[in-house]
Chain A
Amino acid sequence: MSDKIKFTVDGQEGLAEPGQTIYEAAKANGIYIPVLCHFEGLKPVGSCRICSVKSNGRWMASCTQPVTQGMIIENMTPEVEEYRKALIEMLFVEGNHFCPACEKSGNCELQALAYRYQIMVPRFPYLFPKREIEAFPKFLLEHNRCVQCQRCVRGVQTEDGQKIFALHERSNNLRINVDRQLATEMSNEQVQQAMDICPVGAILKKEAGFRIPIGKRKFDYRPIGSEIEEKE
């Protein structure tokens, strides 16, 4: 197989298919690069920047950057890890995240990343933004917890490709706007999908809370990323 791409991550050699992103290629080789906005099967948008890596002195988001022949990637170096930790902390102060009261606790990827990076207290001051909770017939949108990852924007659309969730405004006012009419027409399965696709507790299906008790949830057993790291 001569058309395979050779690359290394922190000195570990790997082989990639042409067209794969750094994140995908690393994952296929059992190397974990943390991601938050990225979701399997959706077009990557590179919004959270947590998957940033360094290659040849340049920084790039591994979820959007294609891997190239001979690429030498720095992933778990202290420098890269420190920047990631800062970005995760930034997400905590940007919104209002109160884990103990959140339905997603234990299943939340942001919380799981915070544990993985052993975040005790953020270096940044809390911004305490004033955000709303919006109610729709079948779900709630808890803006306090939203991280603007756009997973719902990309992953939950109508059959003819209309956006049920869309980006609204810009700058630090950026938020998710829900199409009221289309949201009303969502099926139960679609609402469940929206809740599952959301990395945090921003999209909450009604009448489905706390079915699995805290302590028996996904990240209560294994830290985030271990499913990739333990594959080999």
Chain B
Amino acid sequence: MDYKKIISKYNLDRTRLIELLKDIQAAEGYISEKAVAEVAKAFRISIAEVEGLISFYHFLSARPLGKYVVYLNNSITSEMAGRQEVALAFEEEAGCPFGKTSSDGLITLMETSCIGMNDQEPAALINEVIFTRLNKEKVKKLASWMKQGKPVQEMVEEFGDGANSHELVKAMVKNNIRKSGPVIFDDYLAGTAIHKTLETSPEAVIDEIKKANLLGRGGAGFPTGLKWELCRKEKGPEHYVICNADEGEPGTFKDRVILTERPEMVFEGMVISGYAVGARQGILYLRHEYSYLKKYLENILKKMREQGLLGKNIAGRGFDFEVEIKMGAGAYICGEESALIESAEGKRGEPRDRPPFPVQKGYLNMPSTVNNVETLATATRIMANGSNWFRAMGTSVSAGTKVLSVSGDCDRPGIYEVEFGLTIDELLKMAGARETFAIQVGGPSGQCIGEPGFSRKICFSDLATGGSVIIFNSSRDLFSVVANFLDFFIEESCGWCLPCRAGNVLLKKKFEKIIKGTGTRQDLKEIEAWGKIIKTTSRCGLGQTSANPVLTTLTNFRKLYESKIVKEAEFISEFDLITAVAEACILTGRNFQEENEHV
């Protein structure tokens, strides 16, 4: 393998190191020791650092992988839709368990966190191609094709709706837009917002966005106009505009649909933001799971250049702005803005300490804004239709609409663009949900709500959400939901800070004690206390919300927990003698339980 040739393509640009490693992996199937050494030498960094980078990302591999790598989603909705049967079928066909490669080196089976297909589970990535609604039969068919050596793309038999069937996408993914609204999914004439924007001053643009009261759609709800203003005020040779398309919160897939159906609005939003903050360069950070959209999006950018909406002298008004697409490599934490910036710089996606904030020192230590896909598309509509039009929708605090990704137990899972202020009850009715027992709003890091909370409203002052809404009916076991979410956070913690790295593991252990039926009141108290320690002392938003699955269910479903514990006992030891000596018993051939005089 001629690594030098691949390396030379990247001009020793450190910010493109992840891309380079992906390139090597695409050519060789993995990143060999030799490749690592060559890369390290060229970039004058240590081998250990390159190894550290590879090991951080789920989709980079330093060990050989099969020709076909199956990444089966293990999110809760995938479980609910029959993931286990699909997983067993894959294992049977490949003849190896998950985490391993078949003996003939053909198929590698891997688990992966939510891939943004929650409304069409069980779903998997095979290499970079998405397969949805899998079942036993489909797995058998896929496996037989793999054994015939069929290219993965050719295994996609039917394309999804809308742009999913576009020549450059050709994905079986479905949009499932159940309710389109006036802000995002209404018709949009390309260029309208850019023309209006460039007719006014950057300050006036910021003013308009502020007047619209646009709050960040990623979930945190930071005022977008203020963010742009703060960034504009910072001095620096360059400013950067970053679009966060790393939606990784389990249950969220609305950015995927926005990027499929309204990419122009997102890119125009970046141009508008660039004009407002004084940037010449924008970066769309796209999660690896959405690689299938890359060529399509690049083509949209090309078209925008041809239309004079991007590049030099945009709309003939002397404003230059470019957009580059940077791919992620599989890490939920990269949805956190400072971790995203680190990753965009070609490093491990570990969050930074704040201050300085990204608007002060962001990408390459230059003032940068990081905005969610939906936020930018919304900014475009605001510039086209005006802030008054926008503010007339939603509530006084939360203006406009929100795109929700609805999945789980309902007849119509998919995308809903609704005005802020919608109640959970109304949403459940819209989605065709029956006998709803619980609803997870805002993904695992959000809240789990029971029936008494169904009159609550979706808005920033009540139930804030980045878009993820997962519905559970009364047949579901809430404890397995919580367990799945806790596992997710354990897996996706970057490990940098102690409370998130170790605390989540300890919390899960304690939670398992409750599930096992050996929990006591004291254990419930400790769950609350430990959860609070993790929440309070963690370094970034991941650790500050990772205890939410258990904390919010403990608050809202107290009775369920009470029914699981042993009420009369004050303390039950976690230590179980029989289990502890089981291995020794097998080795010595003695049956401990029969000789229970030792107890």
Taking beta carbons and an 8 Å cutoff, which residues of A are in contact with B?
44-49, 52, 59, 61, 64-66, 83, 86-87, 90-91, 93-94, 123-125, 127, 147-148, 158, 160, 162-174, 177-182
Q: Establish whether residues A94 and B498, one from each chain, have CB atoms under 8 Å apart when the complex forms.
A: yes
Distance A37 CA – B573 CA, assembled complex (angstroms) = 33
Report A-chain residues with C-beta under 8 Å of the C-beta of B494: 170-171, 174
Chosen A-B contacts, 29 in total, with CB atoms closer than 8 Å, are A52-B537, A59-B537, A66-B355, A86-B533, A87-B537, A90-B499, A90-B503, A91-B498, A91-B502, A94-B498, A94-B502, A123-B526, A148-B496, A148-B501, A158-B46, A163-B46, A163-B48, A164-B46, A166-B46, A167-B350, A169-B55, A170-B493, A171-B490, A171-B493, A172-B493, A177-B51, A178-B48, A180-B47, A182-B47
Given contacts A90-B502, A163-B48, A172-B502, contact A61 B539 (CB under 8 A): yes
Q: Establish whether residues B55 and A168, one from each chain, have CB atoms under 8 Å apart when the complex forms.
A: yes
Distance A11 CA – B503 CA, assembled complex (angstroms) = 31
The smallest beta-carbon distance between B358 and chain A, in angstroms, is 16
Extra 15 A-B pairs, beta carbons < 8 Å, given A167-B350, A174-B494, A182-B48: A46-B353, A47-B498, A61-B539, A65-B353, A86-B530, A87-B533, A147-B498, A163-B46, A167-B348, A168-B51, A171-B491, A172-B490, A177-B52, A178-B48, A179-B47
Report A-chain residues with C-beta under 8 Å of the C-beta of B539: 46-47, 49, 61
Report A-chain residues with C-beta under 8 Å of the C-beta of B107: none
Q: Establish whether residues B495 and A87, one from each chain, have CB atoms under 8 Å apart when the complex forms.
A: no
Taking beta carbons and an 8 Å cutoff, which residues of B are in contact with A?
44-49, 51-52, 55-56, 331, 348, 350, 353, 355, 490-499, 501-506, 509, 526, 530, 533, 536-539, 574
Closest to B356 in A: A66
Selected contact of A125 from candidates B491, B499, B536, B574, CB within 8 Å: B574
- Residue of A93, A127, A167, A177 with highest tally of chain B CB at under 10 A: A167
Distance A49 CA – B52 CA, assembled complex (angstroms) = 23
Given contacts A83-B533, A123-B526, contact A49 B46 (CB under 8 A): no
The smallest beta-carbon distance between B497 and chain A, in angstroms, is 5
Given contacts A47-B496, A49-B499, A123-B526, contact A162 B537 (CB under 8 A): no
Given contacts A46-B353, A166-B46, contact A125 B537 (CB under 8 A): no
Selected contact of A170 from candidates B45, B47, B331, CB within 8 Å: B331
Given contacts A125-B574, A172-B501, A179-B47, contact A45 B506 (CB under 8 A): no
Closest to A178 in B: B48
Distance A52 CA – B55 CA, assembled complex (angstroms) = 29
Report A-chain residues with C-beta under 8 Å of the C-beta of B498: 47-49, 87, 90-91, 94, 147-148
Report A-chain residues with C-beta under 8 Å of the C-beta of B49: 162-163, 166, 179
The smallest beta-carbon distance between B140 and chain A, in angstroms, is 33
Q: Establish whether residues B55 and A125, one from each chain, have CB atoms under 8 Å apart when the complex forms.
A: no
Question: DSSP class of B's interface residues: helix, strand, loop or mixed?
Answer: helix
The smallest beta-carbon distance between A215 and chain B, in angstroms, is 30
The smallest beta-carbon distance between A192 and chain B, in angstroms, is 20
Q: Establish whether residues A125 and B51, one from each chain, have CB atoms under 8 Å apart when the complex forms.
A: no
Q: Establish whether residues A45 and B496, one from each chain, have CB atoms under 8 Å apart when the complex forms.
A: yes
The smallest beta-carbon distance between A217 and chain B, in angstroms, is 25
Distance A86 CA – B144 CA, assembled complex (angstroms) = 53
Q: Establish whether residues B48 and A125, one from each chain, have CB atoms under 8 Å apart when the complex forms.
A: no
Selected contact of B52 from candidates A91, A148, A167, A180, CB within 8 Å: A167
Distance A125 CA – B499 CA, assembled complex (angstroms) = 15
Distance A83 CA – B539 CA, assembled complex (angstroms) = 14
Closest to B331 in A: A170
Q: Establish whether residues A87 and B46, one from each chain, have CB atoms under 8 Å apart when the complex forms.
A: no
Distance A165 CA – B51 CA, assembled complex (angstroms) = 11
Given contacts A83-B537, A162-B46, contact A47 B497 (CB under 8 A): yes
The smallest beta-carbon distance between B189 and chain A, in angstroms, is 44
Report B-chain residues with C-beta under 8 Å of the C-beta of A46: 353, 497, 539
The smallest beta-carbon distance between B318 and chain A, in angstroms, is 39
Q: Establish whether residues A125 and B506, one from each chain, have CB atoms under 8 Å apart when the complex forms.
A: yes
Given contacts A172-B490, A173-B495, contact A166 B533 (CB under 8 A): no
Selected contact of A163 from candidates B45, B501, B530, B533, CB within 8 Å: B45
Closest to A165 in B: B48
Report A-chain residues with C-beta under 8 Å of the C-beta of B46: 158, 162-164, 166, 179, 182
Distance A163 CA – B44 CA, assembled complex (angstroms) = 10
The smallest beta-carbon distance between B85 and chain A, in angstroms, is 28
Distance A124 CA – B503 CA, assembled complex (angstroms) = 9
Report B-chain residues with C-beta under 8 Å of the C-beta of A174: 494-496, 501
Q: Establish whether residues B495 and A169, one from each chain, have CB atoms under 8 Å apart when the complex forms.
A: yes
Report B-chain residues with C-beta under 8 Å of the C-beta of A87: 498-499, 533, 537
Closest to A90 in B: B502
The smallest beta-carbon distance between A31 and chain B, in angstroms, is 20
Task: Please list the 9 inter-chain residue pairs (A to B) with the smallest Cβ-Cβ separation, ordered nearest first.
Answer: A174-B495, A179-B48, A166-B48, A94-B502, A64-B353, A166-B52, A162-B46, A179-B46, A49-B537
Q: Establish whether residues A124 and B56, one from each chain, have CB atoms under 8 Å apart when the complex forms.
A: no
Distance A165 CA – B47 CA, assembled complex (angstroms) = 10
Selected contact of B502 from candidates A59, A64, A93, CB within 8 Å: A93
Q: Establish whether residues A93 and B506, one from each chain, have CB atoms under 8 Å apart when the complex forms.
A: yes
Report B-chain residues with C-beta under 8 Å of the C-beta of A91: 498, 502
Report B-chain residues with C-beta under 8 Å of the C-beta of A64: 353
The smallest beta-carbon distance between A149 and chain B, in angstroms, is 9
Distance A177 CA – B505 CA, assembled complex (angstroms) = 22
Distance A167 CA – B497 CA, assembled complex (angstroms) = 12
Distance A179 CA – B350 CA, assembled complex (angstroms) = 21
Selected contact of A59 from candidates B56, B509, B536, CB within 8 Å: B536
Report A-chain residues with C-beta under 8 Å of the C-beta of B55: 168-170, 177
Report A-chain residues with C-beta under 8 Å of the C-beta of B48: 163-166, 168, 177-179, 182
Report A-chain residues with C-beta under 8 Å of the C-beta of B496: 45, 47, 148, 174
Q: Establish whether residues A181 and B47, one from each chain, have CB atoms under 8 Å apart when the complex forms.
A: yes
